[in-house]
Amino acid sequence: MHFSGTNDSIRNSQFGALKVKDAIVDSFTRQNLERPNVDREQADIRVNVWLNDDRASIALDLSGSSLHQRGYRQQTGQAPLKETLAAAIVLRSGWEPTTPLIDPMCGSGTLLIEAALIACDRAPGLLRKHWGFTAWSQFNAALWQEVKTEAQNRARTGTAATQARFFGYDNNGRVLEWSQANARRAGVFELFTFGQQDLLKLTNPVDPAVHGTVLSNPPYGERLESEPALIALHSQLGRLMKQHFGGWNLSLFSASPELLSCLQLRADRQFKAKNGPLDCVQKKL
């Protein structure tokens, strides 16, 4: 049960949630149905109520847990991107799924893994163990199994057919191990090349005639306190792009437009987005 909002009669969300719960139980009792139990951790059916003055909106949760929880990510580095946001960043990056994709500061690998899921036609919820709608009385188990089987078949076909290759680098060996484990759980590990290295050692790992995309969420003020180090990192990335990645796309997501200007590369397009409470920008350079 989730309750949000107050009015003159309901001044506390916990009280509001209790009243809705009591009303649901009373309804079952009047119909001589088995009394439903409350499970705060893993409810079969989640009820969401939003109260505005004297009107309330009541909704049943189809998904259960948040849809950004794909199921493959069990370890993360500092300030990880939600999977849904990472997928949006990939789609806005200009990357073509038939071309190589590099993240030189990949952390736990979320950007690359979301890109690989797209390239392989793998449904983002394929690994989820629980869905809210499976406990509904109208749930059609046979139809749901058909949908899952189709998604699994498409994933196998797409993974076998894709020409995309993904390269993830990070100077933190422990975080890189997490990235590898996440890629394995997502079913896309065979498409990846991982390497522990400093950004300064970044070079083009593919045929010079092949052009792709460098995509990353580099550190900014929320994650690294030293401003001179941040400025140097972005300046180095700009120089490396000019030196080793002629003809490639570069797309960076950051909460600091000022740091992105240190790249000294012209932006073709930019998009605004929120990362939790942070106002962020994604620039295509």
Among the listed residues 198, 259, 183, the one whose alpha carbon sits nearest the alpha carbon of residue 226: 259
Residues 49 and 172 in one domain: no
Give 5-32 pLDDT, tens digit per residue.
Answer: 999 889 999 999 999 999 999 999 999 9
Q: Is pLDDT of 224 > 70?
A: no
Q: Is pLDDT of 55 > 90?
A: yes
Q: Are 58 and 48 in contact (CB under 8 A)?
A: yes
pLDDT at res. 225? 53
With a CB cutoff of 8 Å and minimum separation 6, the contacts of 128 are 65, 69, 70, 71
Give 205-219 pLDDT, tens digit per residue.
Answer: 999 899 999 999 998
How many C-beta atoms lie closer than 10 Å to residue 232's C-beta? Answer: 14
What confidence tier does 227 reach under pLDDT thresholds 50, 70, 90? confident
Q: Is residue 228 part of a domain?
A: yes
Domain extent, residue 246, equals 83-123+162-284
Any idea which residue has 């460098």 for tokens?
A: 214
What confidence tier does 90 reach under pLDDT thresholds 50, 70, 90? very high
Q: Is residue 138 part of a domain?
A: no
- Cα distances from 285 to residues 104, 246, 252, in angstroms, run 16, 12, 8
Average pLDDT over residues 244-267: 94
Number of domains, the chain: 2
Q: Is the dihedral of CA 131, 133, 137, 142 positive or negative?
A: negative
Q: Is residue 192 part of a domain?
A: yes
Both tokens of 266, joined, read 């012209």
pLDDT at res. 74? 83
User: Which range is least confidently modeled, 96-100, 125-129, 223-227, 270-274?
Assistant: 223-227
Among the listed residues 238, 262, 259, the one whose alpha carbon sits nearest the alpha carbon of residue 250: 238
Residues 253 and 213 in one domain: yes
Give 128-160 pLDDT, tens digit per residue.
Answer: 888 989 988 899 999 999 999 999 999 999 999
DSSP-derived 3-state class of residue 170 = strand
pTM here? 0.87
Q: Is residue 78 part of a domain?
A: no
Any idea which residue has 């570069």 for tokens?
A: 250
Q: Higher confidence at residue 38 or residue 81?
A: 81
Residues 167 and 213 in one domain: yes
pLDDT at res. 122? 97
Q: Is residue 67 part of a domain?
A: no
Q: Is residue 66 part of a domain?
A: no
Q: Are 187 and 122 in contact (CB under 8 A)?
A: yes
Q: Is residue 143 part of a domain?
A: no
Q: Is residue 132 part of a domain?
A: no
Residues 169 and 56 in one domain: no
Nearest-5° Cα angle at 130, 128 to 134 = 130
